[in-house]
Amino acid sequence: MKGKIVIDTSMCKGCQLCIGFCPKKNIFLSSQLNAKGYFPAQADTKKVCNGCGICALMCPEAAIEVYRDDEN
């Protein structure tokens, strides 16, 4: 199953819970500061995302949207 996540970087505070709990280690910290002054999380689009939603489950800011491919 393939999926993808969309992170609202303006909401992210860079706590890194999504990075720590992502089973595929697909998320990393951006090198660009957001308006709040945090380095926000960013999805690595080159890697395969299962769309499991664990990142969104742990995200304190509810900043992650999860999409999943229905066909599989």
Partner 1 sequence: MKKVYSRPKSLRNVSMHYCPGCGHSIIHRLIAELLDEMNLQDQAICVPPAGCAVLAYNYIDIDMVEAPHGRATAVATGVKRVRPDNLVFSYQGDGDLAAIGTAEALHAANRGEHITVIFVNNAVYGMTGGQMAPTSLIGQKTTTSPHGRTVANEGPPIRVCELMAQLGGPSYLERVSVSSPAGVRKTKAAIKKAFEYQIKKSGFSLVEILSPCPTNWKMDAMASCAWIDEVMAKEFPLGVIKEVQC
Compute the least distance from the CB of residue 61 to partner 1, in Å. 6
- The footprint of partner 1 (CB under 8 A) covers 3-4, 10-11, 13-17, 20-21, 36, 38, 51, 53-54, 56-70
Q: How far is CA 46 from CA 10, 39, 50, 53, 57, in A?
A: 22, 20, 13, 18, 22
CB of 35 to partner 1, least distance (A): 10
CB atoms within 10 A of CB 50: 17
The CB-of-36 to partner 1 minimum distance in angstroms stands at 7
